[in-house]
């Protein structure tokens, strides 16, 4: 994968500014008890964002992300998925980070379960054009196997940002 | 939110998504990042289904606005249409559940 060009525009320091402690779900499995499927985890993450007033209409965002998955899975392999999309009801570029200790069948390209989720939502007009660089940077950082392992084990939000800053790429 | 308005916003999101991934430059960028966006046919099928749900009259207005402005649905804040930046008549304010259009540019409006 050649994410270099898009991610060159964003540093790891820039990347961590998109992470917020209230947009971190350490245990998605606990939110999706009894329904650990792809749609359930997307619903849980969208609901988390809606509760934190990131947009007014949960249904529209959910449908947009479902449509995006129809284009091809955003499960990029090695236990990572980056569900993303642009929505008319999204006010600003938003990133949510979530973990599933058990792993989720997300139709990932390598057919393996997904443990790390980075959900990105953007408005259609992204004035600073940060949407693709943000996507690219997450892909790049999560290529580092040590970073992936440490992201899974990070006990809290502060440790998550430390791992991102120390990632190899 | 008004169900008709909800469908129109979704239709717009879907149309803009189809346009974005049909653009060769964007598709190449996405592919470089690591996302293959080659199932556009699935989106077009979903678009057809959604368009049927919207209904003929509303769809005709939506298509006309998309053709003219690139966006048929626009956010409204503080009673100002954020597409044409014209203030809406006071009688329009506070009616989130109704399907209404900008008094100036005629785009459908939703609260953001």
- The Cβ-side half-sphere exposure at B39, using a 13 Å CA radius, reads 14
Q: Would you say domain B3-111 falls under CATH 1.20.1260.10?
A: no
Among A75-79, A103-107, A138-142, B90-94, the minimum mean pLDDT is found in: B90-94
Contact A132, B37 (CB under 8 A): no
CA dihedral A56, A57, A62, A64 (to 10 degrees): -100
CB contact under 8 A, A72 and B37: yes
Question: Residues A122-167: pLDDT tens digits?
Answer: 998 877 789 999 999 999 999 999 999 999 999 999 999 999 998 8
A110 touches chain B (CB under 8 A): no
The gap between the terminal CA atoms of chain B, to the nearest Å, is 12
Tokens of A117: 């989720």
Contacts of A56 in chain B (CB under 8 A): 1, 111-112
Number of neighbouring beta carbons within 10 Å of residue A10: 20
* Phi, psi dihedrals of residue A75, rounded to the nearest 5°: -80, 105
Between the CA of residue B43 and those of A105, B36, B51, B56, what are the distances in Å? 22, 14, 12, 20
Name the residue facing A71 among B6, B37, B111 (closest C-beta): B37
Nearest Cα of chain A lies from the Cα of B83 at a distance, in angstroms, of 11
pLDDT at A8 over 70: no
Averaged pLDDT score across all residues of chain A: 91
A137 Cβ neighbours under 8 A, 6+ residues apart: A3, A6, A7, A10, A12, A14, A15
Length of chain A in terms of residues written? 169
Q: Where does the pLDDT of residue A1 fall: very low under 50, low under 70, confident under 90, or very high at 90 and above?
A: very low
| Residue with more model confidence, B26 or A35 | B26
Answer whether B20 touches A (CB < 8 Å).
yes
State which residue of chain B sits closest to A84, comparing Cα positions. B35
Q: Are residues B35 and A87, on separate chains, in Cβ contact within 8 Å?
A: no
pTM for this one? Answer: 0.91
Annotated catalytic sites of A, by residue? Answer: 84
- B90 contacts: CB under 8 Å, gap ≥ 6: B79
- Both structure tokens of A121: 């939502």
Nearest CA in chain A to B5: A60
């Amino acid at each position: 994968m050649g994410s270099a060009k898009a991610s060159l525009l964003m540093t790891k320091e820039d990347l961590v500014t998109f992470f917020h402690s209230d947009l971190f779900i350490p245990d998605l499995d606990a939110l999706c008890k009894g329904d650990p499927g792809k749609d359930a985890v997307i619903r849980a993450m969208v609901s988390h964002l809606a509760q934190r007033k990131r947009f007014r209409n949960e249904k529209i965002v959910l449908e947009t992300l479902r449509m995006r998955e129809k284009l091809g899975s955003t499960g990029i392999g090695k236990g990572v998925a980056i569900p993303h999309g642009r929505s008319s009801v999204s006010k600003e570029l938003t990133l949510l980070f979530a973990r599933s200790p058990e792993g989720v069948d997300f139709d990932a390209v390598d057919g393996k379960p997904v443990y790390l989720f980075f959900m990105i939502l953007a408005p259609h007009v992204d004035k600073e054009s940060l949407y693709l660089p943000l996507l690219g940077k997450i892909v790049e950082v999560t290529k580092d196997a040590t970073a992936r392992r440490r992201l899974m084990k990070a006990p809290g939000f502060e440790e998550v940002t430390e791992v991102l800053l120390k990632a190899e790429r | 939110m008004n169900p008709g308005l909800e469908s129109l916003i979704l239709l717009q999101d879907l149309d803009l998504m189809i346009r974005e991934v049909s653009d060769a430059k964007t598709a190449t960028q996405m592919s470089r990042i690591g996302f293959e966006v080659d199932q556009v046919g699935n989106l077009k099928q979903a678009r057809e289904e959604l368009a049927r749900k919207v209904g003929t009259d509303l769809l005709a207005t939506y298509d006309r606005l998309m053709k003219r402005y690139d966006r048929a649905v626009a956010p409204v804040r503080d009673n100002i249409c954020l597409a044409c930046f014209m203030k809406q008549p006071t009688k329009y304010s506070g009616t989130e559940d109704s399907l209404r259009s900008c008094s100036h540019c005629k785009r459908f409006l939703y609260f953001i």
